[in-house]
Each structure stands twice: as structure tokens, then as C-alpha cells.
Amino acid sequence: MFDTSLQETLDSVIARNPGEPEFHQAVREVFDSLAVIQERHPEYNDLAILTRLCEPERQIIFRVPWVDDRGAVRVNRGFRVEFNSALGPYKGGLRFRESVNLGIVKFLGFEQIFKNSLTGLPIGGGKGGSDFDPAGKSDGEVMRFCQSFMTELHRHIGEHTDVPAGDIGVGAREIGYMFGQYKRLTNRYEAGVLTGKGLDWGGSLVRKEATGYGTAVFAEEMLAARGEGLDGRPVAVSGSGNVALYAIEKVHQLGGRVVTASDSTGYIVDEAGIDLDLLKQIKEVERGRIREYAERRGGSARFVSGGSVWDVPVDVALPCATQNELHESDAKSLIGNGVVVVAEGANMPCTPEAVELFRAAGIAFGPGKAANAGGVATSALEMQQNASRDAWTFDYAEGRLTEIMRSIHANCLETAEEYGRPGDYVVGANVAGFRKVADAMMAFGVI
């Protein structure tokens, strides 16, 4: 499928970054789409744009020592990969989860470059995190970990340099502890250094809801492009974290009916439509397990441990949990049950085999870098508010988010059309995201 130069570049990326399968997967998927622009733009090749894009501008790995509640010293590993700053300061979340390693951070950082470009806002791409899991830790332990993490990270970030945010395992509590430590270390109230902040100290309305809301709006646009709507249609959502909860909320507001949610212990089916107040109470307030939803909801809901949430018949599927959670067999089930739109709320939740099946079956497939870009877009809106020392209303911020999601959707479709792949959101997102970054890199010369 690739021409020789793309294949050689990919081979060299894989050889130079051994043992990082998620990063290889993300690069391969982008290269797959870029085949369509090779012929029209030989200048990208001449200036080794792709080789430079795949090499992060900077990769920081550091020790994070902290003391647990028993007085024992614990050591985790911190990462920040500053991938590309052609369009603005590095921007991307921090993930705290045991499985975090350099390859995962690089896959997320690489995706972030194109996603951030698609938002049309001036932000580069980066990502970071640690193999620390806040689940099961006390507040004091999480605070001491976050303070230690920021004691090193603060040297590398700043509102004009690199602006981290949350991701899996990093919510308002963690951002608060990290911002507090940054402020203390630098003696500066530099609100624009982190996003996802609390509303009283520089946060933006709608940031919490943005990724999920944006994914639902993107799915609605995908349906509209087919002359259809969300009204009354059954929708499957996976996960029950930040992205999933607010994707459910917006789908309900748009008239759809979400019938599933999940966590790492299993999934629930509620044919009457998820009771979001109950799910939020269990997940946001009590930090409980998904099974409790079925126990407390009674009649219409059941909990399934094992099996796949994608076996539930729906018209629209929104994977919102984690990478590689929707496999080939899941895609077959969804297609067999008549799904028409799949939009990724999480980053790379569908395996390449699953994506191929959707595309071959003519299912509209919205890749995460387009469909979940609402989160980072609203982070950039938070930075705008911080820079102008302003605070927008919920309606104004949501209006901006909706406008951005519609414009990303239109850009994907127009670009796919321009490059001879009508209706292919993957090609549209990758090519549109890539071209802006590549053109800026060309303007800057070889740096």
C-alpha cells in the first residue's frame, strides 16, 4: 500500500523505536493515509518532514520518589514527550496509570500533533504521564505523588512552552495538586500553564464536558452527512470516566438513547436508557464499580462481566474507554447488528483490523483525532481565557466547542473529497491535520 519512501521511513521509525507497538501502530495508521498526498507534494519528502515529525523534539523521563501512608519510599517513572511545536506550545494530557510507558506516551503525543492541528487553534502536540495509578491511593498519597512529579516537570513547562492537561487517572484533584506545586515552585500565578483547572482558579466552563460533548456532536454530524439523525436511536458507549459520562449526557440531549457503559470490570446494559444521575453518583462521586449501577437501578439494567459491550445491538457506537478496546470480532458484531456510525471518544480504541472492517463495510468511522478533539480544543479556549484574564459563560464556551467540532467534521470530509477518498474520515483527518503542521515546518527550515 505504501510507496518505497514511506515504507522506508516507517521501517526506520520502527527500528529506531523498538518495543513500542502502540507508537508503531499510530505512525502506520497516519502513513497509510498519507500515501494519497505523496505524489502531489514531493517537497514534503525532500525536506524529510515525515522523518522529523516522527522524532519527538524532546523526550523527558524522570524519577518520581514519594512517601506512602505507611512511611515507605515509593518510586515511579515520569514522562513528558514534547513532540512537535510547529503550531504552538506543546499541548496534551498527562496519564497516570500503571500501564504507562514511553511507547504509550509517544503514541498519544504523535496523535496529539494532528488532533491539535485539526482544531484550527495554535497548539503543538505533546503528552506525558506516569506509571502511577491514583486508584486505591489516599488523597495524601496522591498529593505527595503529584507534588513530586511537578517538582521535576515544572522546569519543562510554561504557558508559552508546554501546557499539560488531564487524561486517564488525572482529573481536577490531580491538576489542583500539580498547579499548587507549580505555583509554589515558580512563585508565579501562571494559570495558562495547565488546563483542566478548577473553575475558581482559572478553569473553563465546559472543559469537563468537552471531550464527550464533542464526540457526540461529531457523531451527530456524521449521521447528518448521511441524511440521518440521532433522535430515538440506540447508542453504545464504553467506559464510564470523564469522556464516557459526558458523551452520554450530550447524546441524550440530542435525542439519542445510550444503552451501555463499562469499566475495566465489565459492562452494563440498560435498554430504558442510562440513568446518568445514578451513573455520575457512582462514578464521579463515590468512585465505585459499574456493577453497582445495575444493582441500584433494578429492572431495566443488567451487569455483564466478561463478554463485550460491542455485542449489544445499536445504531451508533462510541468507544470512550482506552486504546485497542474494540477488536475485529467486536467490529463484526457491530456490523452484523446494523451499526451505521462509529466515532472514537477515546484515543485509538479501535484496532487497525476493526477500522478496516468498518471502512470496508461502508460504516462511517470517525477517528479519535477528529472525533475527540473537543477536549483539547476547549483546553485551548481555557488558555485563551487565562491569557485575557476572562471567564466565559457556559453557553458561549459550548457554542465555541460545537462550532469547532462542526468545522473539524467539514474539514475531514472536504479533505477526503479533495484527495479522492470521499467519505473517508481517516484520510480526511490525517491529511488535513498533517498538511498544516508540514507547511509550518517547511516555513521554519530544517530545525
Which of 148-156, 177-185, 262-270, 293-301 is the region at the interface with ligand NDP (rule: CB under 6 A)?
A: 262-270
Which of 160-168, 222-230, 250-258, 357-365 is the region at the interface with ligand NDP (rule: CB under 6 A)?
A: 160-168
CB of 283: closest distance to ligand NDP in angstroms? 7
Residues 432, 413: contact at Cβ < 8 Å?
no
Residue of the chain from 321, 340, 371, 426 that contacts ligand NDP (CB under 6 A): 321
The residue written with cell numbers 455485542 in the block is 311
Residue of the chain from 50, 168, 268, 397 that contacts ligand NDP (CB under 6 A): 168
Looking only at the bridges linking them, the beta strands covering 260-263 and 266-270 are antiparallel
Site string for ligand NDP, 345-384 (x = CB under 6 A): xxx------------------------x--x---------
Segment 192-231, which members bind ligand NDP (CB under 6 A)?
Answer: 211
Q: Which is nearer to ligand NDP, 377 or 416 (CB)?
A: 377
- C-alpha distances (whole Å) from 14 to each of 25, 35, 229 are 10, 18, 42
User: Rule CB under 6 A: is residue 167 a binding residue for ligand NDP?
Assistant: yes
CB of 64: closest distance to ligand NDP in angstroms? 19
CB of 246: closest distance to ligand NDP in angstroms? 9
User: Rule CB under 6 A: is residue 243 a binding residue for ligand NDP?
Assistant: yes
State which amino acid sits at residue 3: D
Q: Which is nearer to ligand NDP, 180 or 266 (CB)?
A: 266
Spatial strand order in the sheet of 260-263 = 260-263, 266-270, 301-304
Residues 64, 148: contact at Cβ < 8 Å?
yes
User: Rule CB under 6 A: is residue 169 a binding residue for ligand NDP?
Assistant: yes
Cell triple for 192: 495558562
CB of 408: closest distance to ligand NDP in angstroms? 13
Residues whose CB is less than 8 angstroms from the CB of residue 156 and which lie 6 or more positions away in sequence, other chains included: 58, 60, 80, 82, 162
Which of 1-9, 27-35, 166-174, 178-186 is the region at the interface with ligand NDP (rule: CB under 6 A)?
A: 166-174
- Give the interface size with ligand NDP as a residue count (CB under 6 A): 25
CB of 319: closest distance to ligand NDP in angstroms? 9
Residues 21, 425: contact at Cβ < 8 Å?
no
Residue of the chain from 322, 351, 385, 430 that contacts ligand NDP (CB under 6 A): 322
Element (H, E) at 360: helix 352-360
Site string for ligand NDP, 57-96 (x = CB under 6 A): ----------------------------------------
Spatial strand order in the sheet of 162-165 = 58-67, 73-84, 125-130, 90-96, 162-165
Residue of the chain from 181, 195, 242, 260 that contacts ligand NDP (CB under 6 A): 242
Task: Report the alpha-carbon distance of residue 335 to residue 327 in Å, rounded.
Answer: 12
Residues whose CB is less than 8 angstroms from the CB of residue 284 and which lie 6 or more positions away in sequence, other chains included: 245
Residue 115 appears among annotated catalytic residues:
no
Residues whose CB is less than 8 angstroms from the CB of residue 11 and which lie 6 or more positions away in sequence, other chains included: none
User: Rule CB under 6 A: is residue 162 a binding residue for ligand NDP?
Assistant: no
User: Rule CB under 6 A: is residue 344 a binding residue for ligand NDP?
Assistant: no
Residues 240, 322: contact at Cβ < 8 Å?
no
The Cβ of residue 185 has, within 10 Å, a number of other Cβ atoms equal to 14
Straight-line distance from the first to the last Cα atom of the chain, in angstroms, rounded to the nearest whole number: 30
Residue of the chain from 263, 270, 315, 382 that contacts ligand NDP (CB under 6 A): 263
Q: Exactly one of 91, 115, 127, 250 is catalytic; name it.
A: 127
In whole angstroms, how large is the CA radius of gyration of the chain?
21
Which of 217-225, 297-305, 320-328, 333-341 is the region at the interface with ligand NDP (rule: CB under 6 A)?
A: 320-328
Residues 379, 195: contact at Cβ < 8 Å?
yes
Residues 273, 257: contact at Cβ < 8 Å?
yes
Residues 427, 417: contact at Cβ < 8 Å?
no
CB of 290: closest distance to ligand NDP in angstroms? 7
Which of 21-29, 176-184, 257-265, 274-282 is the region at the interface with ligand NDP (rule: CB under 6 A)?
A: 257-265
Q: Which residues pair with 255 in a beta bridge?
A: none
Which of 6-14, 242-250, 300-308, 430-438 is the region at the interface with ligand NDP (rule: CB under 6 A)?
A: 242-250
Q: Which residues are catalytic?
A: 127
Name the site residues for ligand NDP (rule: CB under 6 A).
Answer: 166-169, 211, 239-244, 262-265, 320-323, 325, 345-347, 372, 375
